[in-house]
Amino acid sequence: MAPARRAPKRTPRRAPAPRPAVVLPRGPGVDLAEAPHAHVVCRVCGRIQGVDLSELDRHLLTELAALHPDGWTVERVAFSLTGACRRCREGPLVR
């Protein structure tokens, strides 16, 4: 009789590493209420999906906020990319 097989050991899942805190600028004309973020928007169906930004990406978008014209304030930075999602590219509706 063959020895009984043991179930493979399961490796415990680790919690995702916390994102580093983003230092939001506070200065003349720049008072961000949240960290900069980005989305990609499908030009065909309008679907929106978030884009992961690195710390450097968020820093660069924050630096862009400081380039505002005189007399303006910047409260939020939201960057959008436009294209076509996979479903629309592969379907009959692509224009």
pLDDT of residue 31: 77
pLDDT of residue 71: 87
Kindly report whether the global pTM for this prediction surpasses the value 0.95.
no
**Per-10-residue mean pLDDT, the chain, length 95:** 60 58 56 89 95 92 87 89 94 62
- For the chain, how many structural domains are there in total? 1
Question: According to DSSP H, which parts of 1-95 are helical?
Answer: 55-65, 86-90
Residue 53 is part of a domain; what is its CATH number? Answer: 3.30.1490.190
- Residues 45, 49, 54, 58, Cα dihedral to 10°: 80
Classify residue 86: in a domain, yes or no.
yes
The boundaries of the domain holding residue 85 are 37-90
pLDDT of residue 65: 87
Classify residue 17: in a domain, yes or no.
no
pLDDT of residue 54: 93
Position 51, amino acid: V
Question: What is the Cα–Cα distance from 32 to 77, expressed in whole angstroms?
Answer: 8
- Burial zone of 11 (CB within 10 Å; 0-12 exposed, 13-18 middle, 19+ buried): exposed
